């Protein structure tokens, strides 16, 4: 039986990611690669939304992906799993860069100093720069493909022994896992490009697969939903107060205990609440679930267009720029998804949709 709460958690989290990226695009914390402060305010207190979401929303998505991978592998072979993940994840994040996402790369270069450099290099090199810059939000599906590929040899070695052991995880074990998450956050982090955190996000995926794919464990966290929410709110408040104004997404802040503990317990709070109250489907949730993939893949392009052509030019009041950015994120994403998903080859190359 399909776990509708996982679908609902996924699309709701993607919507949170969209809102986050709008605020992130015009943040006043000096994080590079975006337009930055357009309000003229010395402090943008609403920027705290970034601090209250960044430590956990991608961690949660990787955790949900791990759970979903386990459910998929119950009725499919390892070969089928890897093939489907390659089509869905690897193709759009590699071939898709050359077919479409270089457009996102163009706007990303305009948001950085790379545009000036591109004027001094041959056209083929400039195109390759746009291709590389076009990765953007696709880092998530690149990492997810790596974790999916690594899962296959792990499964062959552990032969479900570790997975069965995960079924016995009690509330004490669930809490102590937070220490494991902190340790994982300290390793396998790439320099310069801070989003490629193989340790932090890898442990989220593996926890989803080996621990939280068990109904017994889900029932436990459902009973502890309210305490998890309280702990997550307390940690989120403490993290925001302590590090507001600092670069939360990069070293050293994203390695600190407050970051990782908040990320883990907020994910538990969302997962437990979702399992308890979001296990249903209706016309709206079904539509959002079907379109959340396109929303994730394309939303940043809409934000970037408004940021470059409107926000950076300071031709409208800041509040309208924010509103237009949010609207463009959804409209551009849904239109592009509707169009590209119907075009042969492009739907495979850009969205990983196999020929129907």
Higher pLDDT, residue 155 or 32: 155
User: Which tokens is 311 given?
Assistant: 């926000």
Give this prediction's pTM.
0.96
User: Which tokens is 345 given?
Assistant: 């080859």
Q: Which residue has the tokens 């386990």?
A: 70
Which pLDDT score is estimated for 158? 94
Asked whether the predicted pLDDT for residue 23 surpasses 90, the reply is: yes
CA distances (Å), origin 235, targets 52, 204, 262, 270, 350: 9, 19, 5, 14, 38
User: Which tokens is 244 given?
Assistant: 């507001």
Q: Which residue from 245, 276, 292 is spatially nearest to 18, judged by alpha carbons? A: 292
221-260 residue pLDDT tens: 999 999 999 999 999 999 999 999 999 999 999 999 999 9
How many residues comprise the chain? 356
261-309 residue pLDDT tens: 999 999 999 999 999 999 999 999 999 999 999 999 999 999 999 999 9
Query: How many structural domains is the chain composed of?
Result: 1
- Return the half-sphere exposure (C-beta side, CA atoms, 13 A cut-off) of residue 104: 27
Helix (H, G, I), strand (E, B) or coil at 197: strand
Which pLDDT score is estimated for 356? 58
Is residue 356 in some structural domain? Answer: no
170-193 residue pLDDT tens: 999 999 999 999 999 999 999 888
Is residue 332 in some structural domain? Answer: yes
Which pLDDT score is estimated for 253? 96
Q: 207: domain range?
A: 4-351
User: CB neighbours (10 Å) of residue 159?
Assistant: 9
Is residue 327 in some structural domain? Answer: yes
CA angle 215, 219, 222 (to 5 degrees): 135
How high does pLDDT run on average in the chain?
95
Is residue 233 in some structural domain? Answer: yes
Contact 64/6 with Cβ under 8 angstroms? yes
298-348 residue pLDDT tens: 999 999 999 999 999 999 999 999 999 999 999 999 999 999 999 999 999
91-138 residue pLDDT tens: 999 999 999 999 999 999 998 877 777 778 888 999 999 999 999 999
């Amino acid at each position: 039986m399909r776990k509708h709460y996982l679908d609902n958690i996924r699309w709701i989290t993607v919507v949170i990611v969209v809102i986050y990226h709008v605020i992130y695009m015009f943040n006043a914390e000096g994080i590079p690669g975006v337009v930055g402060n357009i309000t003229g305010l010395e402090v943008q207190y609403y920027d705290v939304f970034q601090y209250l979401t960044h430590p956990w929303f991608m961690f949660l998505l990787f955790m949900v992906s791990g759970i979903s991978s386990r459910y998929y592998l119950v009725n499919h072979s390892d070969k089928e799993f890897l093939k489907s993940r390659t089509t869905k994840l690897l193709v759009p994040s590699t071939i898709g860069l050359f077919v479409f996402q270089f457009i996102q790369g163009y706007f990303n270069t305009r948001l950085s100093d790379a545009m000036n450099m591109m004027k001094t290099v041959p056209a083929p090199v400039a195109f390759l720069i746009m291709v590389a810059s076009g990765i953007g939000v696709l880092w998530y599906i690149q990492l997810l493909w790596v974790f999916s590929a690594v899962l296959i040899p792990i499964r062959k070695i552990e032969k479900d022994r570790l997975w069965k052991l995960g079924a016995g995880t009690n509330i004490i074990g669930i809490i102590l896992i937070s220490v494991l998450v902190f340790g994982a956050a300290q390793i396998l982090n790439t320099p310069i490009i801070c989003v490629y955190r193989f340790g932090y996000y890898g442990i989220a995926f593996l926890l989803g697969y080996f621990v939280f794919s068990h109904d017994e464990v889900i029932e436990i966290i459902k009973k502890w939903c309210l305490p998890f929410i309280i702990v997550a709110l307390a940690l989120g408040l403490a993290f925001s107060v302590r590090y507001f104004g600092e670069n939360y997404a990069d070293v050293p802040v994203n390695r600190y205990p407050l970051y990782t503990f908040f990320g883990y317990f907020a994910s538990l709070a969302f997962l437990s609440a979702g399992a308890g109250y979001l296990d249903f489907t209706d016309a709206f949730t079904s539509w959002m679930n079907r379109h959340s993939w396109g929303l994730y893949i394309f939303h940043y392009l809409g934000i970037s267009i408004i940021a470059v052509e409107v926000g950076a030019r300071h031709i409208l009041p800041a509040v309208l720029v924010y509103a237009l950015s949010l609207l463009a994120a959804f409209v551009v994403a849904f239109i592009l998804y509707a169009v590209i998903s119907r075009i042969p080859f492009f739907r495979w190359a850009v969205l990983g949709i196999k020929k129907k």
